[in-house]
Amino acid sequence: MTRILLLGASGQLGQQLCRTLSRVGTVIVINRATLDLCQPHQIPTVVLPIQPDLLINAAAYNAVDRAETEVSQADAVNAIAPAVLAEVAKTLTIPLIHFSTNYVFDGESTTPYDENDVPNPINAYGRSKLSGEIHIRQTWERHLILRTAWLYGIGHSSNFLNTICGWQPSNRNYESLPISSALLPLPLTLPMPSNP
Ligand SMILES: NC(=O)c1ccc[n+]([C@@H]2O[C@H](COP(=O)([O-])OP(=O)(O)OC[C@H]3O[C@@H](n4cnc5c(N)ncnc54)[C@H](OP(=O)(O)O)[C@@H]3O)[C@@H](O)[C@H]2O)c1
């Protein structure tokens, strides 16, 4: 069976990937306690002995606002760690699947973005994620980079739907919910797990 090494399994996307991928292979999870991606130099020591067939990186430094003041942490997890993961995938000659973000763009386009649009991140988070993408592309050709925007799913307290639902009882002053119309993503729908 395909041995799939998944990073970021405790996250919103990672939890769903764990459930879904277990139908197609043996999912091996490495959590932060075993491998802190703020220490990217530790990646080869931890990952190489596992000898997976596929490497999936769902881990990220996702605190968009905090990234402005925690630039080195954001860069370590979002830029340097993906670069090292690409090196490791190359050494093992296995594919790397990595997730990125709409924040690589500046949001100024009046038409939907596609893969060929030129990125222009306007914040530290977006710059760190774009840097990760570039490192992967330059390092190992057998990669897939998926740029997502607004993940929805169940079972994760901080997802978009739960956040909105959580606002309602405690914000009785709102007659309508103030959601920015500047963000109009095409959402990535995570499938419902068969055993929620
Ligand atoms: N959520 C969205 O709406 C959204 C939108 C656009 C793009 N994305 C992209 O989609 C991907 C998944 O996002 P998500 O929402 O599922 O993220 P998330 O829920 O914030 O989960 C992040 C994962 O990364 C792990 N992680 C963070 N820092 C780490 C570190 N230093 N060492 C080891 N592990 C670390 C976390 O582990 P702990 O549990 O230990 O913290 C967690 O498992 C990311 O690449 C993100 O940039 C997400």
Verdict on whether the full-model pTM lies above 0.75? yes
Question: Which residue has its alpha carbon closest to ligand 1 atom 10?
Answer: 99
- Kindly report the CATH number assigned to the domain that includes residue 112: 3.40.50.720
Residue 160 lies in a domain: yes
Write out the two tokens for 144: 């897939």
Rounded distance from Cα 165 to ligand 1 centre (Å): 21
**What confidence category does residue 165 fall into, taking pLDDT thresholds of 50, 70 and 90?**
confident
Q: Is the pLDDT of residue 153 over 60?
A: yes
Q: Which ligand 1 atom sits nearest the alpha carbon of residue 102? A: 6
Residue 99, classified by CB atoms within 10 Å of its CB into exposed (0-12), middle (13-18) or buried (19+), is buried
Q: Does any ligand 1 atom lie closer than 6 A to the CB of residue 11? A: yes
- Higher confidence at residue 148 or residue 70? 70
**Is residue 122 in some structural domain?**
yes
Average pLDDT, the chain: 88
Domain that holds residue 25: 3-189
Mutate to test the pocket of ligand 1, among 7, 13, 129 (most ligand atoms within 8 A of CB): 13
119 or 186, which is more confident?
119
Q: Is residue 194 part of a domain?
A: no
Between residues 151 and 176, the one the model is more confident about:
151
| Ligand 1 center to 58 CA (angstroms) | 6
Name, in order, each residue with C-beta under 8 angstroms of 64's C-beta and a sequence gap of 6 or more: 103, 123, 125
Q: Which of 49-63, 88-102, 148-162 has the lowest mean pLDDT?
A: 148-162
Query: What pLDDT is stored for residue 150 in this prediction?
Result: 77
Lowest mean per-residue pLDDT among 25-39, 40-54, 103-117, 127-141: 103-117
Residue whose token pair is 């988070």: 125
**Whether the predicted pLDDT of 184 surpasses 70:** no
- Residue 14 Cα to ligand 1 midpoint, Å, equals 8
Q: Is 125 a catalytic residue?
A: yes
Confidence of residue 155 (pLDDT cuts 50, 70, 90): low
Asked, for residue 154, whether it belongs to a domain, the answer is: yes
Structural domain count, the chain: 1
Who wins on pLDDT, 194 or 140? 140
- Residue at 56 is within a domain: yes
Label residue 187 by pLDDT band (50, 70, 90): low
Structural domain includes residue 195? no
Cα dist from 77 to 45, 94, 172, 175, whole Å: 17, 21, 38, 39
The more confident residue out of 11 and 195 is 11
For residue 9, which atom of ligand 1 is closest to its CA? 43
Amino acid in the structure at residue 95: P
Per residue, the 3-state secondary structure of the chain, as one string, reads CCEEEEECCCCHHHHHHHHHHCCCCEEEEECCCCCCCCCHHHHHHHHHHHCCCEEEECCCCCCCCHHHCCHHHHHHHHHHHHHHHHHHHHHHCCCEEEEEEHHHCCCCCCCCCCCCCCCCCCCHHHHHHHHHHHHHHHHCCCEEEEEECCEECCCCCCCHHHHHHHHHHHCCCCCCCCCCCCCCCCCEECCCCCCC
Q: Which of the following is catalytic: 103, 113, 125, 174?
A: 125
Say which range, 19-28, 130-139, 143-152, has the weakest mean pLDDT: 143-152
Task: Give 54-91 pLDDT, tens digit per residue.
Answer: 999 999 999 999 999 999 999 999 999 999 999 999 99
Relative to the CA of 147, which ligand 1 atom is closest?
7
Q: Is the CB of 188 under 6 A from ligand 1?
A: no
- Report if residue 196 sits inside a domain: no
CB-ligand 1 contact for 8 (6 Å cutoff): yes
